[in-house]
């Protein structure tokens, strides 16, 4: 039972750590926190007797969980819908392309000194992602421009196999820590929720403690069962748990006895025998 609980805790912790993190070493030289959020790009094509709408949702440094039709924990999600002339308020969704946050990403920097580049920046790529019967790729290209004001994506390509999006932004310029501008509201600093980063060390201590206890209890039960001291493994496990509980209950009295002996020896040292 305890092993199952430990496994559940570990699974939950791993799931919460799977989203895009702006603090990954590849993005450290940049200021992606300044464009953090979910960005959307929509293209509409006239396809009589209907219109075809494709909206791409891109999560910068956070997963896309706020878009209703996108799968949970997506970095990138495209929704294709058909809009009929007689029911424009009821679009029909025909395709959903999703790139999950757990997928491996490739980070590649480029500079003006490169042979095939006239700018500085970084690309984030996804390769060979399953989508129906196909494998699709995606490339997000962030180009450095210190004068850029609006952080907006531009669709360069989508042919059903590969997606290319580009953003021209100051966030893609290599900068020092002093120049980084976070999306913070000074007046709301006291109300800012804790995102869990401050207790990361405590989480690992808790994980190791749970693992140690699981190994101790299950291993002890297995040892008792193999020695033939128990009828079955369940009985052995119950016996080990009872012994462990008795040990925990006895710790306070054991500590108290040690303290009393220590303080008692010191107090008797102040008197001489008659």
What element of type H or E holds 134?
A: strand 134-144
Residue 66 banded pLDDT, cuts 50, 70, 90: confident
Residue 8 banded pLDDT, cuts 50, 70, 90: very low
Residue 21 in tokens: 């993190």
Is 145 in the same domain as 233?
Answer: no
Is 41 in the same domain as 177?
Answer: yes
- Mean pLDDT for 231-240 is 74
Is 127 in the same domain as 166?
Answer: yes
Residue 93 banded pLDDT, cuts 50, 70, 90: very high
Of 148, 181, 214, which residue constitutes the final position of a domain?
A: 181
pLDDT at 272 over 50: no
**What's the predicted TM-score (pTM) here?**
0.58
Is 55 in the same domain as 134?
Answer: yes
Tally the residues of the chain.
274
Q: Is residue 54 part of a domain?
A: yes
Q: 29: Cβ–Cβ under 8 A, 6 or more apart, which residues?
A: 174, 175
Q: Among 8-12, 153-157, 209-213, 227-231, name the one with the lowest average pLDDT.
A: 8-12
Residue 189 DSSP label: G
Residue 86: give its domain's CATH number: 2.70.130.10
- Mean pLDDT for 104-122 is 89
Is 108 in the same domain as 75?
Answer: yes
Please report the pLDDT score of residue 177 as a whole number: 58
Measuring CA to CA, which residue among 100, 15, 31, 26 is closest to residue 63? 100
Is 83 in the same domain as 146?
Answer: yes
Is the CA virtual torsion 25, 27, 33, 39 positive or negative?
negative
Please report the pLDDT score of residue 262 as a whole number: 79
- Give me the percent of the chain exceeding a pLDDT of 90: 34
DSSP 218-241: HHHHHHHHHHT-SSSHHHHHHHHH
Q: Is residue 193 part of a domain?
A: no
Give me the number of domains the chain comprises.
2
DSSP 62-117: S-B-SSTTSPTTEEEEEEEEEEETTEEEEEEEEEEEEEETTS--EEEEE-TTSTT-
Please report the pLDDT score of residue 73 as a whole number: 84
Is 162 in the same domain as 219?
Answer: no
Is 230 in the same domain as 165?
Answer: no
Please report the pLDDT score of residue 55 as a whole number: 95
Which residue(s) pair with 41 in the sheet?
Answer: 56
Please report the pLDDT score of residue 58 as a whole number: 93
Q: 193: Cβ–Cβ under 8 A, 6 or more apart, which residues?
A: none
Q: Is residue 188 part of a domain?
A: no
Residue 212 banded pLDDT, cuts 50, 70, 90: confident
- 222 and 237 Cβ atoms separated by less than 8 Å: no
* Domain carrying residue 213: 199-268
């Amino acid at each position: 039972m305890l092993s199952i609980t430990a496994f559940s805790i570990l699974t939950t912790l791993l799931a919460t750590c799977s989203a895009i993190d702006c603090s990954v070493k590849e993005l450290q030289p940049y200021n992606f926190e300044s464009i953090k959020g979910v960005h959307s790009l929509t293209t509409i094509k006239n396809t009589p007797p209907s219109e075809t709408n494709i909206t791409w949702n891109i999560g910068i440094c956070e997963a896309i969980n706020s878009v209703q039709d996108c799968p949970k924990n997506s970095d990138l999600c495209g929704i294709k819908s058909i809009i009929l002339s007689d029911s424009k308020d009821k679009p029909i969704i025909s395709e959903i392309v999703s790139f999950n946050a757990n997928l491996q990403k490739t980070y590649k920097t480029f500079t003006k000194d490169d042979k095939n580049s006239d700018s500085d920046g970084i690309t984030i790529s996804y390769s060979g992602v399953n989508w129906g019967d196909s494998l699709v790729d995606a490339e997000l290209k962030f180009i450095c421009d210190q004068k850029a004001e609006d952080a907006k994506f531009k669709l360069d390509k989508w042919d059903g196999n590969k997606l290319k999006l580009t953003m021209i932004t100051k966030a893609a310029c290599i900068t020092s820590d002093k120049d980084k501008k976070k999306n913070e509201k000074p007046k709301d600093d006291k109300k800012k929720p804790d995102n869990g980063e401050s207790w990361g060390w405590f989480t690992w201590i808790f994980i190791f403690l749970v693992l140690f206890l699981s190994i101790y209890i299950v291993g002890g039960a297995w040892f008792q069962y193999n020695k033939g001291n128990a009828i079955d493994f369940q009985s052995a496990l119950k016996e080990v748990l009872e012994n462990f509980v008795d040990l925990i209950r006895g710790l306070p009295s054991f500590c108290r006895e040690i303290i009393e002996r220590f303080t008692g020896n010191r107090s008797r040292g102040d008197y001489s025998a008659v």
